[in-house]
Amino acid sequence: MKGKILVSGCLCGKKVRYDGKDAACLDPRFVRWMREGRLVGICPEVAGGFSVPREPCEKAGDTVVDKFGHDFTAKYKAGADKALALARKYGAAVAILKQNSPSCGSLYIYDGTFSGIKKRGEGVTAELLRKNGIKVFGEDQLQEVEKEIEQN
Protein backbone atom coordinates (compact mmCIF):
# COMPACT_ATOMS: atom_id res chain seq x y z
CA MET A 1 0.00 0.00 0.00
CA LYS A 2 1.33 3.39 -0.95
CA GLY A 3 1.43 6.18 1.61
CA LYS A 4 -1.71 7.53 3.20
CA ILE A 5 -3.02 11.03 2.53
CA LEU A 6 -4.75 13.03 5.27
CA VAL A 7 -7.92 14.64 3.88
CA SER A 8 -10.61 17.03 5.08
CA GLY A 9 -13.67 14.91 5.82
CA CYS A 10 -15.97 17.20 3.84
CA LEU A 11 -13.96 16.46 0.69
CA CYS A 12 -14.73 12.76 1.22
CA GLY A 13 -18.45 13.51 1.11
CA LYS A 14 -19.06 13.69 4.86
CA LYS A 15 -21.65 16.29 5.85
CA VAL A 16 -19.45 17.99 8.45
CA ARG A 17 -19.19 21.57 7.19
CA TYR A 18 -20.52 24.45 9.28
CA ASP A 19 -23.71 24.47 7.17
CA GLY A 20 -24.27 20.72 7.48
CA LYS A 21 -23.18 20.07 3.90
CA ASP A 22 -20.20 18.37 2.31
CA ALA A 23 -17.74 19.60 -0.32
CA ALA A 24 -17.22 16.25 -2.03
CA CYS A 25 -14.25 16.20 -4.37
CA LEU A 26 -15.15 14.30 -7.54
CA ASP A 27 -11.84 14.73 -9.34
CA PRO A 28 -10.90 11.31 -10.82
CA ARG A 29 -7.52 11.33 -9.03
CA PHE A 30 -9.17 11.92 -5.66
CA VAL A 31 -11.79 9.24 -6.34
CA ARG A 32 -9.03 6.79 -7.33
CA TRP A 33 -7.05 7.47 -4.15
CA MET A 34 -10.24 6.96 -2.12
CA ARG A 35 -10.95 3.69 -3.91
CA GLU A 36 -7.36 2.56 -3.23
CA GLY A 37 -7.87 3.19 0.48
CA ARG A 38 -5.17 5.87 0.62
CA LEU A 39 -7.29 8.65 2.10
CA VAL A 40 -7.64 9.19 5.83
CA GLY A 41 -10.47 11.63 6.47
CA ILE A 42 -10.92 13.97 9.41
CA CYS A 43 -12.85 17.15 10.05
CA PRO A 44 -10.61 19.03 12.48
CA GLU A 45 -13.51 21.24 13.55
CA VAL A 46 -15.71 18.30 14.51
CA ALA A 47 -12.70 16.56 16.08
CA GLY A 48 -12.14 19.73 18.12
CA GLY A 49 -15.63 19.60 19.57
CA PHE A 50 -17.89 21.49 17.16
CA SER A 51 -21.34 20.26 16.23
CA VAL A 52 -22.92 20.19 12.77
CA PRO A 53 -24.32 22.62 11.81
CA ARG A 54 -22.55 25.48 13.58
CA GLU A 55 -21.96 29.19 13.22
CA PRO A 56 -19.29 29.93 10.61
CA CYS A 57 -15.97 31.15 11.95
CA GLU A 58 -13.09 33.08 10.44
CA LYS A 59 -9.48 33.48 11.43
CA ALA A 60 -8.70 37.01 12.62
CA GLY A 61 -4.99 37.24 13.35
CA ASP A 62 -4.11 34.38 15.68
CA THR A 63 -7.67 33.84 16.89
CA VAL A 64 -10.69 32.14 15.34
CA VAL A 65 -14.02 33.84 16.00
CA ASP A 66 -17.63 33.67 14.94
CA LYS A 67 -19.54 36.72 13.70
CA PHE A 68 -20.50 37.56 17.29
CA GLY A 69 -16.86 37.77 18.37
CA HIS A 70 -16.83 34.55 20.41
CA ASP A 71 -13.32 33.09 20.48
CA PHE A 72 -13.14 29.44 19.40
CA THR A 73 -9.38 29.24 18.96
CA ALA A 74 -9.00 26.49 21.58
CA LYS A 75 -11.39 24.17 19.72
CA TYR A 76 -9.58 24.83 16.45
CA LYS A 77 -6.23 24.05 18.06
CA ALA A 78 -7.63 20.86 19.63
CA GLY A 79 -8.89 19.71 16.23
CA ALA A 80 -5.54 20.54 14.61
CA ASP A 81 -3.75 18.48 17.26
CA LYS A 82 -6.03 15.51 16.51
CA ALA A 83 -5.43 15.88 12.77
CA LEU A 84 -1.66 15.89 13.35
CA ALA A 85 -1.92 12.81 15.57
CA LEU A 86 -3.94 11.00 12.88
CA ALA A 87 -1.42 11.95 10.18
CA ARG A 88 1.38 10.61 12.34
CA LYS A 89 -0.53 7.41 13.14
CA TYR A 90 -0.92 6.63 9.44
CA GLY A 91 2.41 8.05 8.31
CA ALA A 92 0.79 10.62 6.04
CA ALA A 93 3.37 12.97 4.55
CA VAL A 94 0.74 14.79 2.45
CA ALA A 95 -2.61 16.38 3.28
CA ILE A 96 -5.42 17.62 1.04
CA LEU A 97 -7.47 20.17 2.95
CA LYS A 98 -10.50 22.33 2.12
CA GLN A 99 -9.44 25.73 0.83
CA ASN A 100 -10.63 28.93 2.54
CA SER A 101 -11.48 27.24 5.84
CA PRO A 102 -10.22 28.79 9.10
CA SER A 103 -9.05 25.29 9.96
CA CYS A 104 -8.00 23.77 6.65
CA GLY A 105 -7.28 26.61 4.22
CA SER A 106 -3.82 26.16 2.78
CA LEU A 107 -3.45 29.19 0.51
CA TYR A 108 -6.35 31.50 1.30
CA ILE A 109 -8.71 32.02 4.21
CA TYR A 110 -11.50 34.49 4.88
CA ASP A 111 -10.13 37.70 6.39
CA GLY A 112 -12.01 37.69 9.71
CA THR A 113 -14.50 40.45 8.81
CA PHE A 114 -17.32 38.12 7.65
CA SER A 115 -17.59 40.18 4.47
CA GLY A 116 -16.68 37.37 2.06
CA ILE A 117 -13.18 38.74 1.46
CA LYS A 118 -10.35 36.23 1.25
CA LYS A 119 -6.70 36.85 2.02
CA ARG A 120 -3.51 34.86 1.68
CA GLY A 121 -3.10 32.71 4.75
CA GLU A 122 -3.63 29.31 6.20
CA GLY A 123 -5.97 27.76 8.69
CA VAL A 124 -5.02 26.45 12.11
CA THR A 125 -4.73 22.80 11.02
CA ALA A 126 -2.90 23.55 7.78
CA GLU A 127 -0.37 25.64 9.68
CA LEU A 128 0.25 22.97 12.34
CA LEU A 129 0.66 20.22 9.76
CA ARG A 130 3.15 22.27 7.75
CA LYS A 131 5.15 23.14 10.86
CA ASN A 132 5.44 19.41 11.46
CA GLY A 133 6.74 18.53 8.00
CA ILE A 134 3.52 17.49 6.30
CA LYS A 135 3.00 18.95 2.83
CA VAL A 136 -0.42 20.60 2.67
CA PHE A 137 -2.43 21.18 -0.49
CA GLY A 138 -5.95 22.32 -1.27
CA GLU A 139 -8.51 20.37 -3.27
CA ASP A 140 -7.66 22.62 -6.22
CA GLN A 141 -4.02 21.46 -6.21
CA LEU A 142 -4.41 17.76 -7.01
CA GLN A 143 -1.91 17.92 -9.85
CA GLU A 144 0.74 18.99 -7.33
CA VAL A 145 -0.40 16.26 -4.92
CA GLU A 146 -0.08 13.68 -7.67
CA LYS A 147 3.50 14.78 -8.39
CA GLU A 148 4.35 14.73 -4.68
CA ILE A 149 3.06 11.22 -4.05
CA GLU A 150 4.71 9.86 -7.20
CA GLN A 151 8.07 10.99 -5.75
CA ASN A 152 7.49 9.03 -2.51
- pTM metric for this prediction: 0.95
pLDDT of residue 1: 41
| Domain layout of the chain by residue ranges | 5-151
CA distances to 85, 110, 117, 150, 152 from 100, rounded to whole Å, are: 22, 6, 10, 26, 27
Question: Going residue by residue through the chain (152 aa), what tens digit of pLDDT does each one get?
Answer: 468 999 999 999 999 999 999 999 999 999 999 999 999 999 999 999 999 999 999 999 999 999 999 999 999 999 999 999 999 999 999 999 999 999 999 999 999 999 999 999 999 999 999 999 999 999 999 999 999 988 76
pLDDT of residue 152: 64
Alpha helices in the chain (DSSP H): 28-35, 44-47, 73-90, 124-131, 142-151
